[in-house]
Chain A
Amino acid sequence: MTTQTPSITATTMGKRSWLNLAGWSAALVVLGWAWQGTEMQPGLLVENAGNMATLASDFVPPSFTNLGHYIEQMLVTIQIAIWGTLLAIVFAIPCSLLSSDNLVPWWVYQPMRRLMDACRAINELVFAMLFVVAVGLGPFAGTLALFIHTTGVLAKLFSEAVEATEAGPMEGIRVTGAGRIEEIIFGLIPQVLPLWISVSLYRFESNIRSATVLGMVGAGGIGVSLWETMRGFQYTETATIMLVIIVAVTALDMASQTLRKRFI
């Protein structure tokens, strides 16, 4: 036994280092390939430094004459995020249960997962453009766009939590004679709730960020002003808007993080 161990280790080590090498070279090839595709030219940053300095100087000093309006628009953005996320949570709960392989047969979870994949695959901005056509310009289109996309994301994350639960507590409820839904409410939900809350709050944070650009396609919120000022070269206004966004996003991120910590 003792005489055999070193030779076994040596072969496995040899194999592993070879695999290692192959892995690294593959990674390098991919990186080089992507470098070409993105037309990376760091030299341009140096060459055009003067241009950028001029552009940057156009942003200062920020103009605060329309600050009130921007804050109002930011609040609309937050409202879009709130309802977009809330609707998504409400719909993601049943959808996630129906895409968990420990709860339903494959012919239920496979189609449901594919549907959720589709919701997730399309960016919220694309949904926003579609909903602008469907329900007209304004925050409602943005809310719907966030709602659809976030449902896809949350359903996946929720169902991953469901699939990681222990079967024991659910069996414990089942053998008392309770029905399937009671089994889920009393045996499953308590196990996944902390994670669900934390994931939902995280999604809310990220939806506020997403909602700031929805306006660019006319789906309401501060993105409208952002887009208008940029297209009109009113960069001092753009600077103010960006400051408002930074302050609001930071504040809400911090608030949601504190909330999140209480549930983990």
Chain B
Amino acid sequence: MSLTTIAVQQLSKTFGHHPVLQDIGFEIRQGERVALIGPSGSGKSTLMRHLVGLTRANRQGNSCVHALGRDIQRHGKLISASRAERCRTGYIFQQFNLAGRLSVLTNVLVGRLGRMPRWRALLGRFSAEERAMALHALKRVGLEELAGQRANTLSGGQMQRVAIARALMQDAELILADEPIASLDPRSAREVMDILKRINEEDGRTVVITLHQVDYAREYCQRAIALRQGRLYYDGPITQLTDARLQALYENAGLNELYQPSDGSVQPVMLRAATG
């Protein structure tokens, strides 16, 4: 098999009359750790959602999104795939997207739904082996002692680590993290980034992370793909993403977004309210 994990060609996306992504194309090879950066509204998250089929590209045009040896979508049409096939990609959201009323352990176990026989998946009957796997995944993110708690009792950083454990449970070869640390305090952000880095280095999993804090990208990733107003602005080693280039990238975005001190970006930890 080729070593290409993700290939995006001629991807364009318009919401209403507003072009969000224009003619994006790039490749990511197996085992890379890539930061997807750009000012807010530049289309990072939309691009990320295309990679897993949560959003479809424009119908017209010759777009193609290819990941892990199969087409995810072609010309704006999703290509259906088996559950096991889709399970190979893990996705981490800014808002964690856990089922708040289920236990931490169950939230991790659902990562296995795609690989279980259908009847067991529908009944939620997880085997002892799967439970052990889930506990092991929780251990890797340092949360095994919280397994029995309801997910909505956790802090934001803990929830994000549960979401990572879910991706580990999937045994995902490709992990896409969409603004994983944007709603976390600096300490939790660092923990989450450390875990993602470890998964990349120790397990050899390809990791793509959208970030709006450039310092984190510089510290944690080898390669950067930068978007500006929906267009590919830079693609290359992060070391060559010079201050001058960054300046231009964030030109109209306001300086605060560029020179965000890593400990000054304190955003309140989002605690999910129990949704009735």
Contacts and interface: CB of A to CB of B under 8 A. Distances in A.
A193 B100 CA distance: 12
Contacts of A191: 99-101, 275-276
A187 B114 contact: no
B93 A178 contact: no
Interface stretch (B17-25, B81-89, B128-136, B244-252): B81-89
Contacts of A169: 97-100
A195 B274 CA distance: 12
Interface in B109-129: 110-115, 118, 121-122, 124
A174 interface: yes
A182 B89 CA distance: 17
B114 A186 contact: no
Residue with the highest number of chain B CB atoms closer than 10 Å, among A161, A177, A264: A177
Contacts, number: 91
B95 interface: yes
B114 A178 contact: yes
B121 A171 contact: no
B97 A177 contact: no
B45 to A, nearest CB: 12
B83 A174 contact: no
Contact of B275 (A166, A175, A178): A166
A94 interface: no
B163 interface: yes
Given A186-B99, A186-B102, A190-B102, A178 B84 contact: no
A94 to B, nearest CB: 14
A161 B276 CA distance: 8
Interface string B51-87: 0101000000000000000000000000000011111
Contacts of B86: 175-177
Consensus secondary structure, chain A interface: helix
A172 B98 contact: yes
A181 B120 CA distance: 12
B12 interface: no
B84 A179 contact: no
A128 B163 CA distance: 51
Nearest to B81: A177
B91 interface: yes
B83 A195 contact: no
B113 A186 contact: yes
Contact of B166 (A165, A176, A185): A176
Contacts of A172: 91, 93, 96-99, 163, 166
B90 interface: yes
Given A177-B170, A187-B99, A171 B124 contact: no
Nearest to B102: A190
Contacts of B101: 190-191, 193-194
Interface in B131-171: 163, 166, 170
Interface string B28-65: 00000000000000000000000010100000000000
A248 interface: no
Given A172-B163, A176-B111, A176-B170, A190 B276 contact: no
B109 to A, nearest CB: 9
A175 B99 contact: no
Given A173-B99, A177-B114, 16 more contacts: A175-B52, A175-B54, A175-B86, A175-B90, A176-B112, A176-B114, A177-B83, A177-B84, A177-B115, A178-B113, A185-B122, A186-B124, A190-B99, A190-B102, A191-B276, A193-B101
Interface of A: 161, 165-166, 168-169, 171-179, 181-182, 185-187, 190-191, 193-195, 264
27 contacts: A161-B276, A168-B93, A168-B96, A171-B97, A172-B91, A172-B163, A175-B54, A176-B87, A176-B90, A176-B91, A176-B114, A177-B84, A177-B86, A177-B87, A177-B88, A177-B89, A177-B113, A179-B121, A182-B122, A185-B124, A186-B113, A190-B99, A190-B100, A191-B100, A191-B101, A194-B276, A264-B276
The 9 A-B pairs with the shortest beta carbon distances in the complex, nearest first, are A177-B114, A172-B97, A177-B87, A177-B86, A178-B113, A175-B91, A168-B97, A190-B101, A190-B99
